[in-house]
Structure 1
């Protein structure tokens, strides 16, 4: 198959490229030239946000386009309209953030979503992703648009910093503030499993919305952090600390302590991120590797970079300040 990916040089886009190349697909990567494209692809350069930025896409035909854009929906709209007559299927990598707040525990693809517009400029993330979905639907219709509502994404090439922060912190050793309870359930998707599902779903001609993340309780906070210890070979001591102690210290779940959300204290947020129904994607072939594989491979990738992960400029830096951690631990 012939794949056009809009982006394709970082995180999710790169994983999709690698998956498609592994299947022997012909891959064209359209990007701004800020990062080197993977080997084995055809490269087209352009900036989607600039006047005439899509000029390199004026010609050409592809079986499928994959778009991971997460800002102004009008950018998705312009690309989708330009390609509608020359591409078979539009795969838009959206987010479970499109569900109206607060989403119920076990929310699925039929749950209410936020309002959005394909013509919108810069809007909050949930509305941006919903607007991107509507842009794909407007140009390609219900039968040719696949909406991939991803959950928390981690794994090699991560440029948000969540799993890399935990790996680097535990590798540093010493007493580590481990947010309890240890058995807090986690739900996420390894970027490579997401990419594999996207590629095979496109190949099968699937359409419509799919929640794509592991089953709820795929792992726990304890299993994740202990896997970090094994992967790094660290002698760090995980000090499991009650959520009330952490919250009383002014520490923010998700940002200061990435991935973690206290289930009892913040049930709505925990349900939104770690309580998504994925029956539809599982029935359509979704398979998720064990947490140890994700953690070990991410650490190997980090080591190949000298331990310094990339960081998206449009996302905040995550992680707990060492001074605050030490204060809570009493040292």
Structure 2
């Protein structure tokens, strides 16, 4: 297979490139040159945002498939898709479940209602509308039978430049009492970036088309299993209470966290309390992807490999591995200590009141 990867030097694109190289595919990477291209590829340089001159390197050549992860103005996807339509067999666009209208019902399938989007939209476009516009741009150029839409949910794993799982690993590696959002048995949905890459390559090789929700099945992992895996990966198991840096996961009810003003998803990454937003993010129907071969590795493997990658970079740092332009995620040490103190005080007050009432 001859694969053209638009991007390919970071997170999802890099995982796709590495998976394709492992299969022995002939891979071409088109990128802006801000990061080194993976070894073993043919590298083409250009800036898609300055079409048509920025796409000059793609003026010739043919490929069996192209994979695109673009998340901003849909007009950028439109220009690339139109240029490649006659020389590429299939276009796989890594979209998002954010293309569904809000609120997303629990168990939503690919037939759910979609946000408005335009393939011609430029400038700053809301994320969901940008991804939907990208889908429409690909469909306009390649037609329904040659277009594949990978509607991913939460993506974790090595190379993550959003910082969600890296923040948890860095926080637990620091030790001490950790504000753990409960309940620990709460199921979470995510996709390991490498599982996304493998499924996408399988799909283009098999000639699949149309939209697919791509996250793990509901119940594949829980919040407790994710944080326990972080404890094991960072070597924090086996500590004693006497050790100043021993990890103590302080599981806290969602109601108490919300009352304390903690922001789900941003201050405590991945976690959402039960309710409308949780249903939207962690209960997607993925039966269509499972029926076409989606396989999801255990959460302990995702966490351990992400930690190994972070260690290869020298560990977690405030400016790493976050993508430029994205706000940082996770509680600051000061904010976490403040919340833990407030929760402990509230619990102590409630216990005192309970004893007084009993007396």
- TM-score normalised over the length of structure 1: 0.98
Cα drift, residue 327 of structure 1: 1.5
- Answer with 1 or 2: which has the greater Rg: 2
Tell me the equivalent position of 2:287.
279
1:164 aligns with 2:172: no
Tell me the equivalent position of 1:40.
40
SS of the aligned residue for 1:223 comes to: helix
SS of the aligned residue for 1:258 comes to: coil
Tell me the equivalent position of 1:221.
223
Tell me the equivalent position of 1:306.
314
What is the CA deviation profile of residues 146-182 of structure 1, one whole-angstrom value per residue up to 9, with x for unaligned ones? 0000010000000000000000000000000000111
Cα drift, residue 285 of structure 1: 0.3
Partners of 2:333 and 2:253 in 1: CA distance: 19
Partners of 1:289 and 1:314 in 2: CA distance: 30
Partners of 1:101 and 1:217 in 2: CA distance: 23
Of the candidates 313, 318, 321, which is equivalent to residue 332 of structure 2?
Answer: 321
Listed as ranges, the gaps of 5+ residues in structure 2 are: 237-245, 345-359
Tell me the equivalent position of 1:17.
17
**C-alpha RMSD of matched pairs (Å):** 0.9
Of the candidates 286, 298, 323, which is equivalent to residue 290 of structure 1?
Answer: 298
SS of the aligned residue for 2:50 comes to: coil
Cα drift, residue 315 of structure 1: 2.1
Of the candidates 183, 192, 195, which is equivalent to residue 197 of structure 2?
Answer: 195
Cα drift, residue 310 of structure 1: 2.1
Partners of 1:8 and 1:311 in 2: CA distance: 17
Cα drift, residue 321 of structure 1: 1.4
Partners of 1:161 and 1:101 in 2: CA distance: 25
Tell me the equivalent position of 1:250.
261
Tell me the equivalent position of 2:250.
239
SS of the aligned residue for 1:64 comes to: strand
Tell me the equivalent position of 2:120.
119
Partners of 1:281 and 1:321 in 2: CA distance: 37
1:69 aligns with 2:77: no
- Larger deviation, residues 307-316 vs 117-126: 307-316
- Structure 1 consecutive aligned stretches of length 4 or more whose deviation exceeds 6 Å: none
What is the CA deviation profile of residues 45-82 of structure 1, one whole-angstrom value per residue up to 9, with x for unaligned ones? 00001241101000000000000000000000000000
SS of the aligned residue for 1:148 comes to: strand
Tell me the equivalent position of 1:176.
178
